[in-house]
Amino acid sequence: MELNNPQSTSETTGPSIVITSRITPRTPRARKEENQSEDTTEVDKGRTPRITKLMALAIHLQRLINDGVVHDCADIARLAGLTRARISQIMNLTLLAPSIQEDILLMPRIHKGHDPITERHLRIIALIPDWDKQAYGWKSLTEKNNLV
C-alpha cells in the first residue's frame, strides 16, 4: 500500500490511498481440478426434505429451551426474526409421537419434484393428543403420498 504525494492532493479530500495487489486468474482447468475431490465415495444425489430440516430444527430449539439457553419461544422468535406464530408451528412438530419424528428424520432424499409431505400436512396430526391416533394419521398420510 502506498500513499500518493501529499502535495498533489487538495486540502478538502486529504491524501489518497493506492492499494496494489497481484491477482492471479484461475483457468478453467484449475477450477476443474479444485472441484475434484480425492474422496471418490458415491454420495446420494438429491436434497433433504424440508420437513426433515424443520423437524431437526424443532428438536434443536426444544433442547435450547430445556437447557436454559433461551427462555421461551418468544425469545427464539426475536432472535430468529420470525413471528411467534411461526415458531409455534415449527415447535409443534415436537408434539408428534417419537416414532413419527424418527420417520420424518429418516425420510429419503428427494431427487425431483415437490416434497411429498409438508409441515402444513402435519399440523393437524401434531395437535392430536393421542400418539396412537397420530400414528393412524401418519400412516394414512404416508400411504396417500406413496412413502410406505
| pLDDT number for residue 49 | 96
Q: Quick check: is 36 in a domain?
A: no
Domain for residue 123, yes or no?
Answer: yes
Give CA–CA dist 84/74, Å, rounded. Answer: 6
- In this structure, are residues 122 and 95 in contact, taking their beta carbons and an 8 Å threshold? no
By residue range, what is the domain housing residue 74? 50-144
Cα dist from 14 to 2, 11, 20, 104, 128, whole Å: 14, 6, 19, 62, 70
DSSP 78-120: HHHT--HHHHHHHHGGGGS-HHHHHHHHTPPPB-SSS-SS-HH
| pLDDT value of residue 45 | 85
Instruction: Provide the pLDDT for residue 147.
Output: 72
For residue 18, give the C-alpha cell.
493506492
The per-residue pLDDT for 145 is 82
Which pLDDT score is estimated for 2?
Answer: 47
The pLDDT averaged over each successive group of 10 residues in the chain (148 residues) is 50 60 62 53 80 97 96 95 97 97 95 93 95 96 82
- Model pLDDT, residue 39: 52
Number of independent structural domains in the chain: 1
Domain-embedded: residue 120: yes
- The answer to whether residue 138 is domain-embedded is yes
